[in-house]
Amino acid sequence: MIPAATTPVARSISAYAVARILREGVTLDQALAGALAAANPAVAPTVRSLCYGAVRGYYRHEAILSRLLSQPVGSLDYLVRAVLSVALFELEDARSPQYAVVDAAVASAKSTDAARASGLVNAVLRRYLRERAAIDIQIASNPVTRHAAPIWLADRLRADWPVRWTQLLAASDTQAPMWLRVNSRRSSTADYLLRLQAAGIGARAAERVPFALVLDQPCDVQALPGFGQGDVSVQDLAAQCVAFPLALQSGHRVLDACAAPGGKTALMAEREPGLARLVAVDLDPKRLERVRENLRRGDLGAELLCADASDPAGWSGDARFDRILLDAPCSALGVIRRHPDIRLRKAPAVIDKLPQLQMRLLRALWPLLEPGGRLVYATCTLTRSENHDLLAAFIAGTADAAVIPAENWAGWPGFGQADAIGRQVLPGEAGADGFYYAALERQ
């Protein structure tokens, strides 16, 4: 329940945060961090809830507003759109009486730089309350508006997944569960489940991923027993499944080429304590710092390098690796349920440039692979141009690259769909995020 005493200021703070995402393209996490930095900590849960709700439903809210306004939604100031989106989320959420939400939205507009538009906010929301039944039927009858997708996203998913695109929109419109990876150097999953039980936290083990478990309800990481000591980490099930195509063994020299924030670096260090080398490279110094923190928390070791993985001449020397993980920068369309702001921040023109970068990374890293070694390519996205089609083009131009068929990945837990090169996990399958994996061997 949203605490009533904190809501008036929380609404204004939330509107400013959502407007920043729309205007500046910052992430939801960055907008929240900025918004909460100077705020009373008591408002934080309400601001988080309002921001997530407004961002998750933003394109549905735009569709509603387009039926109520005489001018295009895009002509409204970002802050006015944000005030309206927060209010429409509150009306959908139905925790507060409808007219109280409208009054509060008008008050929130008046207390911000959107004051001049408070009359419009009032008129639009009151008209919505009068016409709501008919408008909601229209919105619900179209999967694109029902699941709050921008048109470009719906078009892209329809093109690549003509049978499943509406299912993918629906899966992206849910709240992701909280998956944990148990540090198998410290304890078994069964033992950790007992610790959770003792702490009053409900959870169950994944069916066929021995180190994964999912919480009944998301919780603050600090409430997790042993989190600070690295006994457990937060990581989606699909991300954890990188362990299977990698098939690490003692003595392997491993390169994690796009490593930050280090979720998979830590997983590799935990899963195979006998690695001869583990080198984690990332271009972004701030994100690389998070790799360091993640490793330190689990008392795990790796060599960290702030460098451009697409230009190894400057940093790799004559090093060769038995395993290379290329967890490539991608459009991230498989993790929208976890990061709803992706819908607001990504644009088709940016997505279309990604395969060039991904191909550059693949071509640059391939020569670092020892003959007989394995490169695992991973993305958290669903577009064929960044997954199957990219790899098909790479293999066609690389004489010594051979596919390790997805059916041959030892231990793979059975979900996802194999194609001729790799395997796609769709969002929601087995409760996991959308991911793509392929394993290539250098002959």
Instruction: Determine the interface stretch with ligand SAM among 101-109, 133-141, 190-198, 252-260 (rule: CB under 6 A).
Output: 252-260
Smallest distance, ligand SAM to C-beta of residue 412, A: 18
What tokens does 89 get? 């989320």
DSSP SS3 for 251: coil
Q: Which of 216, 247, 159, 240 is nearest to 435 (CA)?
A: 240
What is the residue whose two structure tokens read 């934080």?
Answer: 44
Instruction: Determine the interface stretch with ligand SAM among 9-17, 134-142, 254-262, 413-421 (rule: CB under 6 A).
Output: 254-262
258 a catalytic residue:
no
- How far, CA to CA in Å, does 356 sit from each of 69, 141, 229, 350? 41, 38, 40, 11
Instruction: Determine the interface stretch with ligand SAM among 36-44, 279-287, 333-341, 398-406 (rule: CB under 6 A).
Output: 279-287
Give the residue, chosen from 180, 206, 254, 259, that forms a contact with ligand SAM under the rule CB under 6 A.
Answer: 259
Give the residue, chosen from 260, 268, 404, 421, that forms a contact with ligand SAM under the rule CB under 6 A.
Answer: 260
Kindly state whether residue 180 participates in binding ligand SAM, applying the rule CB under 6 A: no
Give the residue, chosen from 126, 158, 287, 292, that forms a contact with ligand SAM under the rule CB under 6 A.
Answer: 287
What is the residue whose two structure tokens read 């392997």?
Answer: 252
Kindly state whether residue 333 participates in binding ligand SAM, applying the rule CB under 6 A: no
Q: What is the identity of the amino acid at 365?
A: L
Instruction: Determine the interface stretch with ligand SAM among 57-65, 176-184, 280-288, 368-376 (rule: CB under 6 A).
Output: 280-288
For the chain, what is the largest distance between any 2 Cα atoms, rounded to a whole number of angstroms?
A: 71
Q: What is the identity of the amino acid at 426?
A: L
Give the residue, chosen from 39, 283, 395, 403, that forms a contact with ligand SAM under the rule CB under 6 A.
Answer: 283
Q: Are 2 and 95 in contact (CB under 8 A)?
A: yes
Kindly state whether residue 329 participates in binding ligand SAM, applying the rule CB under 6 A: yes
18, with CB counted inside 10 A (0-12, 13-18, 19+), is buried
Angle at 34 between CA 294 and CA 48, to 5 degrees: 80
Kindly state whether residue 160 participates in binding ligand SAM, applying the rule CB under 6 A: no
d(CA 283, CA 142): 41
Smallest distance, ligand SAM to C-beta of residue 283, A: 4
Q: In the complex, which residue's CB is closest to ligand SAM? A: 258
d(CA 33, CA 13): 11
Kindly state whether residue 327 participates in binding ligand SAM, applying the rule CB under 6 A: yes
d(CA 304, CA 317): 15
Kindly state whether residue 98 participates in binding ligand SAM, applying the rule CB under 6 A: no
In the bound state with ligand SAM, the residue whose beta carbon lies nearer, of 415 and 435, is: 435
Q: Which of 313, 314, 282, 307 is nearest to 295 (CA)?
A: 282
Site for ligand SAM, residues 38 to 97, rule: CB under 6 A: none
List phi, psi (to 5°) of 30: -65, -40
In the bound state with ligand SAM, the residue whose beta carbon lies nearer, of 308 and 370, is: 308
DSSP SS3 for 420: coil
Q: Which residues 6+ apart lie within 8 Å of 227 measured at CB?
A: 221, 233, 297
d(CA 25, CA 288): 22
Kindly state whether residue 345 participates in binding ligand SAM, applying the rule CB under 6 A: no
Site for ligand SAM, residues 305 to 324, rule: CB under 6 A: 308-310
Smallest distance, ligand SAM to C-beta of residue 45, A: 26
Do strands 401-403 and 435-442 pair parallel, antiparallel, or not at all (unpaired)?
antiparallel
Kindly state whether residue 263 participates in binding ligand SAM, applying the rule CB under 6 A: yes
In the bound state with ligand SAM, the residue whose beta carbon lies nearer, of 62 and 236, is: 236
Kindly state whether residue 236 participates in binding ligand SAM, applying the rule CB under 6 A: no
Kindly state whether residue 434 participates in binding ligand SAM, applying the rule CB under 6 A: no
Kindly state whether residue 230 participates in binding ligand SAM, applying the rule CB under 6 A: no
Residues that bind ligand SAM (CB under 6 A): 239, 258-264, 281-284, 287, 308-310, 327, 329
Positions marked catalytic: 380
